[in-house]
Structure 1
């Protein structure tokens, strides 16, 4: 999680690593049905997704949580956690391959 103004530098660094351009191939507004989240996907020449960038409105200096007991839920609301219906830690772990696609088992 970084300030949006710094995100272009991170995209540029990851794009260099994957040898792809910094133009998003897909934009999804209201990602996962949540109006405050926009997702940009950056793919390689084979169409494989290599970078995801999320813009979260009204987040401030907090993590997105989705309190509950289901697989994609977790975290608590506090001065550091805001319930936006999206458990960011869970989804980041899935994107980086730390969790299997539909399981909490470690890879």
Structure 2
């Protein structure tokens, strides 16, 4: 993952608003708002996910639960076809990466 720009813990508004990021984290290499948020537990992740999805009218893919032997891809009630297609694509990429890693010596 050499092309990723990653930084540590920060407040949600700092992560998604470039102006706050620039002011509060001027020393950081991040160049713009985050496109991935990592939350400490399921409840806060669901709150953040739903708020950003609804308020920003953004294309959201998830939730995905990590930290277990394998990722868990969750489809919620009432999802649309686009949500299913996006999640299926993410599942395929995860499976391909796992297969590729298993083939490495």
Structure 1 length normalisation: TM-score?
A: 0.28
Higher RCO structure, 1 or 2 (CA under 8 Å, sep 6+): 1
Larger strand proportion of the pair: 1
Rg comparison, structure with higher value: 2
Structure 2 length normalisation: TM-score?
A: 0.29
Larger helix proportion of the pair: 2
